[in-house]
Homo-oligomer: A and B are copies of this chain.
Amino acid sequence: MEKFELTILGCGSALPTTRHFATSQVINIREKLYMIDCGEGAQLQMRRSRLKFSRLNHVFISHLHGDHCFGLIGLISTFGLLGRTAPLYVHAPAAFGPILQSLLGFFCKGLDFRVEFYPVDTSRHALIHEDRSVSIYSIPLRHRIECCGFLFQEKATLPHIRRDMIDFYRIPICEINNIKNGMDWTTEDGTLVPNHRLTEPSDPPRSFAYCSDTCYLPELTQYIRKADLLFHEATFLHEDLARAQETFHTTARQAATLARDSQVKKLCIGHFSARYEDESLLLKEAQSIFEPTILAKENLLIKI
């Protein structure tokens, strides 16, 4: 299977603790890196996770609270020092454009690469980026300020060649790419061998959904149904529901309920409030509703 991995760089919430960095994650799809949120320390954490700066071309910012974006200027600044030349694409709520521009103008004069800003309409579910490997959609969330999640939908890979059939019909190597791309084969005696006899279907495309920060939104099911992995914030225990509602955050039980109702394969919870010394309580609460839940943790790598 082609690589599709999530690395957690930070999974704390707004207040710093000795346990967590601020929010940031990196998706690795076929050795291309996509960053989601960029809290303070994200660049340091990329180093610690041995993720190559040069493979990162896209950064997606969910919302403009500092614990989700204060690390970006440092990351860009470092790219400049390292002599980067490839453009960096920043996708974020529109209001981030001017402030990013003024930071760049002040701290990053003379960069050898462009920082291209793409405003994201956080109120809609829409395609915001695609390339050969992946389509990335926004997921409208509800928080104290405008905010969206992101859905990473892997693109189908080409079917697998059936080695035995290639040998049997003595099909030359140079034709294999055509067959992968759907061509039938005609033997020397004129017999047509249909493509499906020469190939096996590729692995089904996988998906990853990121939902943070948000209050509990049961309607997210429509966007994240059957995702292979859902990362959802679980800032609070359900006993602190009032506080969760007040601050537009989600409890562990609510995150697990959404995961169950959306029939996702696996749930990873994070964005832990500084108030919980023992985060296993959050895990237990979520697992009581949806067993395949794990706790986010700095530098954790999850294969999707």
CB neighbours of A71 from chain B (8 A)? 40
Interface string of A13-53 (1 = CB under 8 A from B): 01111100110000000000000000011011011100000
Q: Does chain B have a CB within 8 A of A281?
A: no
Given contacts A66-B74, A74-B40, A77-B70, contact A16 B47 (CB under 8 A): yes
User: Which B residues are CB-close (under 8 A) to A40?
Assistant: 40-41, 43-44, 70-71, 74
Binds B, one of A100-108, A110-118, A225-233, A288-296: A100-108
Q: Are A16 and B70 in contact (CB under 8 A)?
A: no
Most chain-B Cβ atoms within 10 A of its Cβ — which of A48, A66, A67, A102?
A66
Q: Produce 1/0 per residue, A79-109, CB < 8 A to B.
A: 0011000000000000100010011001100
Complex contact A15–B64 (CB within 8 A): no
Q: Does A73 contact B (CB under 8 A)?
A: yes
Q: What chain B residues lie within 8 Å of A15 (beta carbons)?
A: 78, 81-82
Task: Report which of B18, B66, B106 forms a contact with A73, defined as CB distance below 8 A.
Answer: B66
Chain B nearest CB: distance from A112 CB in Å?
16
Residue of B nearest to A69 (CB): B107
Indicate if the CB atoms of A107 and B17 lie closer than 8 Å: no
Contact A18 B47 (CB under 8 A): yes
Residue of B nearest to A22 (CB): B74
**Interface pair B48/A78, CB less than 8 Å apart:** no
Closest to A66 in B: B77
Residue on B with the closest CB to A106? Answer: B99
Excluding A40-B70, A40-B71, A66-B107, 13 further A-B contacts by CB distance (< 8 Å) are A15-B78, A16-B47, A18-B44, A22-B74, A40-B40, A41-B44, A64-B106, A66-B73, A66-B74, A70-B107, A99-B103, A102-B102, A103-B103
Partner-B contacts on A (CB < 8 A): 14-18, 21-22, 40-41, 43-44, 46-48, 64-67, 70-71, 73-74, 77-78, 81-82, 95, 99, 102-103, 106-107
